[in-house]
Structure 1
Amino acid sequence: MSTSAEWEDLVSTALVGTDRRPLPGQGASEVELLGRAAVHTLRMRAGRRPVGPGEPTAAAPPEEQPAVSRAAGDRLARILGGEQPRLLAEWLETAAARGYRLSPHLLPELLDHAAKDRSIRPHLGVLAGNRGRWLAGLNPAWGFLLEEVTGVAATGSGGTSQVWEFGTSGDRRVHLGALRAADPARARELLAATWEKETPDDRAAFLEVLGTGLSPGDEPFLEAALDDRRREVRHQAADLLTRLPGSRLALRMAERAARYVTVVDGEIHVDPPVACDSAMERDGVRAKAPRGIGERSWWLQQIVARTPLGVWPRLLGRPPRDLVRMKIVDWSREIMSGWVRASVLQGDPEWALELFAWDPLADLLAALPRDKQEIVAADFVRRHGLDGQLIMVLGGAAAPWGPTLARAVLQKIIDVSGTQPWNLGELARLAGERIDPTLHGMAGRLSPEPSIQEVAALLRFRDDMLKELT
């Protein structure tokens, strides 16, 4: 029997079942079927001839970056082996920021890891070096690496025009960001010149870069981007225009807010929109509400979120402190949620602070200036019990935590030791990962409590780790 005929018999039997169509020969069971299929597959692969003459694989190009130290590489291997695995991202981010490359023997494991964990990919663009990109060209599963930052945009090698024209998506983002920081108008003009040729994903990513140095001069370009075919691009443009209080979009949102929200007898009254028209959609209001949310609620919340926060004191005649405490008739959740989103989107510390007192959220804490974050977070830790909300709020405090927040968290660990083992363990791990690692001595001397000593040990581990990468 020919190879193809035998394969067809196997497939036919598998489709109808061995009971209805027994295999020729002695066996007729499913096990026999699978065994013959495995042998047949192996035979076909072994007998396959090369399509053309074999070409030797080109050697990897020489490296240009310094390799990490032996001690740093050994520590990374320990982390990959299961010792403090939650520190992997910090190790990679620190090493990439300093321009190092990984030892070649660590590359396959890390590239396999990054194939599943997208969050570490940007760091590997630098750390993989030329050898890593060579490997990525040979293995499609690692092809993502070829679009990440290589470091050439930061060093300037190869010429800036070549980086923008021929660089990876990651390098082009870095190049545009550096130019935006130095000359915002020139960066916008560079992007505008190639805008129509960019992929939808790149257009959305490049628009995000324009958040640095945002000014009224960007409005015409962003207003035009509201008509982009890709929804992510349109919404990114709307987010940026929301941060420009004098933009046409901001004024359109202010007009809508004035129609829907008023003050009557010291109370906030709301009459939400009854439809989402094309003009609202163009300005970033999504028409389709998520499951479980009414359409009018959804549209109202988005309009409030995109209305410049400076509009509300003028419209309602009260400062932010009073507005967040006023009675809102019927639609309180939508108005407050919209103000929270607006505070985060527009980065308004006054509103963020007032709203944090109303509803402590990690995003509101993150919207505060770094020094204010530490004070507000430490005060919240002292006043609040150890629960999931406390841990979530602390996630909004930028690392590394300084002495004020560190002492508040460590004292909380001491106060609740032995009473809440699950939450206590998570808080201790978070403290060890977020506190400034140079404070390990202070932590170790604070208390002999085992949880505190675990935090101190993790801080020492991080301190040694970062020193090895210096």
Structure 2
Amino acid sequence: MSSAQIWAALQQSAMVGVDRLPLPQIFTQGADGTAPASQQALQTALAVSVGAGTGQAAALQLLRASGVAAVLERAGWLAGQGRSQTLAPLAPAPAPVPAETRPAPESPHLQALMREVLRDGAQDLLAPMFAALDGAGQRLPHGLLAQALEQGRQSVALRHWLTPVLGERGRWLAALNPQWSYAGGVEETADPEQVWQEGSIDQRLALLHGERRSGPAQARARLEASLKELSAKERAPMVMTLETGLSMADEPLLEKLLGDRSKEVRENAARLLSRLPQSGHSQRITGWLQAMLSRNAKGEWQIEPPEEGSKDWERDGIALQPPAYIKGVKAWWLQQMVGQAPVAFWIDTLGMTPEQLWEWSRRSDWKTALRQGWLAALRDQHDVRWIALLQTMDRDARVESLLPALLNQLSQEQREALWQAQLQQAKGTLIERINAIESGMPAVGEFSLSMSERLMDELDKALGGKQVTGSWHSWQADQALLACARRLHAAVLPRLARLWRKPSATAADLDSATDSAGGIALTPEQQARLERARLRPWDDERVLAQLNRCVDLRVALHAALSD
């Protein structure tokens, strides 16, 4: 029987069905060392499939073996002449994908835009895109899952927004690739006990957060019962779930965790206890600080750390030995204590507003320690009384990281009242005011319709006419306009896009805008400055592409998800 005849017979069996037309006997006798490599590959793979005891039908065994042989041939597999060949047993097929519980957007246009954003990895668009899908109860289309999982692998911060919209197939895929294991887990419909036992770390954190909202005691008991089984890497973020619904009922567990073997767990427990002014931890810290405070002859408050540290401090997270980069051990002790004390202690004890406290620290020998400590405390204690002071601190990276969480404690109306005030103030250019507002916003969020229209009016005045108001030829200007594209209400975006999608100005229009008063001709340098002053952010092709992509994506999301 020639090779051509053998393969023709195999093809017929595959087409008709091996149950009706059995395979040629040559394929069931094991590998023939003298046969062509492709034939040996199929013989070997089929023998492994049959010998593995899978109990599968002969037709399925043939299909699987053919697939293995095809891959071996494409990979350049060489059969050993005159010696037996062995292959590892075929891996069991993965479990079927559970049925999806969420729909996916059907718009081909939207899917194409989402694919482009995923391909380019635009982080400032990915989180809002995932959040919009989640808010509408939808998931990512199957064709975008691999790209999305890869983006999540590269960005830990993105996973919070990504994992809820992966759907069942996304979790199924994640379980098959170790690099995507962060997104694996059980089905969305699984019961809480199964999620806790088998779910991913993100799923278990979500479960604890949910239980803390509905039944804080239940979540606390679940966490406490599992502490010994959890690694330090798991315990640290799980302890922070207690911030949801935090109360004095959590104090015994948090006090216990102050002695945990993990430094990060101990720090997280101290951070949470500092939010409870009546906790033993807070009382001890404020007691030590109270002993450092006194009034001078003029009745003014002053503070002086002790000359020696106390071993009692260490259990409450006060390190006695400063890091190498810290100069001054007393300042180091004070900074740590201020960072762990309730910020309300200072307002209540000294009778000062945050602005007055800041000024008071300026006159102290311990200004840096006090200010660093207050900013550290505000990271966990979102006291909105400090917002006005923080907004006066320009170009301070520490403050920029604090403002979003503090502003999030306010209602939408309260936040936008502050932003409206920033827009109306004379201080700074419109570009600077927009960037200041953007720096205080969270990763995901947009303006209300009224706020968006108010801001759009300002943009129209500055950029909508034949002449530009202000200088819009800078990186800061680019960022301000891109921030507007991300934050404006979707209903206002067509109006924003008209700024750059309207017909370009003619040469006559440009000539009429030149400074020709008195018929004075401009020097080349003056002409060059004038040309630069006319430039808008979208005159840069890169910025124009970003603007169009952002606007198109958000408009498409709004249209598809608001139906």
TM-score, normalised with respect to structure 2: 0.65
2: CA distance, partners of 1:183 / 1:334: 39
Counterpart for residue 471 of structure 2: 418
The residue type paired with residue 146 of structure 1 is G
Counterpart for residue 310 of structure 1: 344
Match of 1:270 among 303, 318, 333: 303
Match of 2:147 among 85, 100, 109: 109
Structure 2 vs 1, CA of residues 43 and 456 (structure 1 numbering), >3 Å: closer, same or farther? closer
1: CA distance, partners of 2:233 / 2:192: 22
2: CA distance, partners of 1:392 / 1:151: 42
Counterpart for residue 6 of structure 1: none
Counterpart for residue 400 of structure 1: 446
Counterpart for residue 325 of structure 1: 359
Counterpart for residue 219 of structure 1: 251
Counterpart for residue 169 of structure 2: 131
Match of 1:120 among 136, 150, 158: 158
Question: Once superposed, what is the RMSD of the aligned Cα atoms?
Answer: 3.6
Counterpart for residue 31 of structure 1: none
1: CA distance, partners of 2:91 / 2:357: 72
1: CA distance, partners of 2:152 / 2:437: 28
Match of 1:367 among 406, 410, 422: 406
2: CA distance, partners of 1:129 / 1:336: 45
Larger deviation, residues 315-324 vs 203-212: 315-324
Counterpart for residue 370 of structure 2: 335
The residue type paired with residue 299 of structure 1 is W
Structure 2 vs 1, CA of residues 429 and 312 (structure 1 numbering), >3 Å: closer, same or farther? same
Does the residue aligned with 1:367 lie in a helix, a strand or coil? helix
2: CA distance, partners of 1:418 / 1:384: 16
1:309-365 per-position Cα deviation (integer Å, ceiling 9, x unaligned): 232244334444533333532222221232233234211111333454466733146
2: CA distance, partners of 1:129 / 1:284: 41
Counterpart for residue 385 of structure 1: 428
Segments of 5+ residues of structure 1 without an aligned counterpart are 1-41
Counterpart for residue 429 of structure 1: 482
The residue type paired with residue 395 of structure 1 is S
1:193-229 per-position Cα deviation (integer Å, ceiling 9, x unaligned): 2222222222222221111111111111111111111
Structure 2 vs 1, CA of residues 85 and 338 (structure 1 numbering), >3 Å: closer, same or farther? closer
1:440 aligns with 2:475: no
1:15-48 per-position Cα deviation (integer Å, ceiling 9, x unaligned): xxxxxxxxxxxxxxxxxxxxxxxxxxx9999989
Structure 2 contact 452–489 (Cα < 8 Å) conserved: no
Q: Kindly, what percent of the aligned residue pairs are identical?
A: 27
Aligned residues: 423
Structure 1 contact 343–352 (Cα < 8 Å) conserved: no
1:174-193 alignment runs, 5 A limit: 174-193=206-225
Match of 1:54 among 83, 90, 100: 90
- Tell me how far 1:244 sits from its aligned partner: 0.5
Counterpart for residue 105 of structure 2: 69
2: CA distance, partners of 1:388 / 1:105: 40
Structure 1 contact 204–232 (Cα < 8 Å) conserved: yes
- Tell me how far 1:440 sits from its aligned partner: 2.3
Counterpart for residue 312 of structure 2: 279
Structure 2 vs 1, CA of residues 277 and 435 (structure 1 numbering), >3 Å: closer, same or farther? farther
Larger deviation, residues 442-451 vs 251-260: 442-451
Computing the radius of gyration from Cα coordinates, the structure with the larger value is 2
Structure 2 vs 1, CA of residues 357 and 291 (structure 1 numbering), >3 Å: closer, same or farther? same
Structure 2 vs 1, CA of residues 248 and 318 (structure 1 numbering), >3 Å: closer, same or farther? same
Structure 2 vs 1, CA of residues 311 and 82 (structure 1 numbering), >3 Å: closer, same or farther? closer
TM-score, normalised with respect to structure 1: 0.77
Segments of 5+ residues of structure 2 without an aligned counterpart are 1-74, 503-534
